Structure 1
Amino acid sequence: MFEEFTQQGEKTRAAFNGSSQPGDTVTGTITGSREVPATEFGTGKPVISKFTGKQLQKTVITIQTTLRDDADDDGQRSVWIKQWGDQARAFGAAVRDAGFTPGEGDVLTVTLKGTKTTQSGFREKVWEYRLTRGQHPVAGATAFTQPAQPTQTAQTTQTDSQAKADQLRALGVPEAEIQRLTGGQQADPYGPADF
């Protein structure tokens, strides 16, 4: 059985599931992304930051792959990335290594490297991400946001830029790189919470 993500009628198979093994790799072209609230596996309870008391978030990136498991499989897969901890740092490293902020049309490769035991004694999967510049078929497509909307004021542009900067911070991208990519947005003094 496949893990699937359903939101507003959309159904996308997960790139990795319970039977995935270390060394498994999935590559595809990014077709979209969204943020979703983080919940505990099995219980569905919100994952709350012990530092801020707010619910943590995950980024869900949809990629178009060449995988086809059955006649109904369109090849789209979802990749879930926590916006805190080692997973966020690994994705942030991939963004730094690539030298660009990924968006629709770019290529994402995800590899399950193995597992490790956390300080709390839990087994946690270890991920590796690689980004490659791709084709950008949608003029003005933005990175990891909804399709770009025309902005009419400088205030709206600043808000969009701040939102992008905040998202990059949550993924562990260094402040100097965030300022380069967003035109100089300064860090929130309280910063993104690390769980």
Structure 2
Amino acid sequence: MRNATVAALIYEFLFDVYRLIDAERGHNEWLPDEHGVVREAFYHSYISCWEWSTSMLEEVGATKTLRLPHTKQDPNRSSPYSYPLMNLDQCRVADFSGFETFDNYCYAMFTFYQLIGQTSGREDEVNLAVRSPQFLETVASKDDVFLIEDIHCVKFRRDRFEEKVMTRWREMQHRIFRRKDCA
């Protein structure tokens, strides 16, 4: 069994946040953080792949949720806005070893699978144009749920994903992304 690290998947999620912030630059909201500093916000639109990935990014300290000013917020629902706390270089060298568990890997890979479905046009083909430049080296070549056909074509192996990730996913009593010492 070959698995990408949770850290490599975290990097991909943060890369995606920056990619989407850049793509929506003319339409992004600018909201005050907890100190009143106005931040360009990432809006996950309550779409699961981005909602789940930003919750992981917040858990590891890579992003922070922005509370909506002047609105009564449902205490059972997180704000859809967040902003990065670290840049991609900081994320690349950050120590996420406290999150390297198989359950967290399954949680992250399940989320990544949703992201691939949201961002890829062809069935089971990863849209490399929206992945980080290090995706091939740090994720696809390290994980047996991916098949690298060439540097321009990476396929997602659904059968391997089902066997490895979804088998564990269905067994998990609590599907929570958390630090090892909280398990």
TM (norm. structure 2) is: 0.27
Higher strand share: 1
TM (norm. structure 1) is: 0.26
Higher helix share: 2
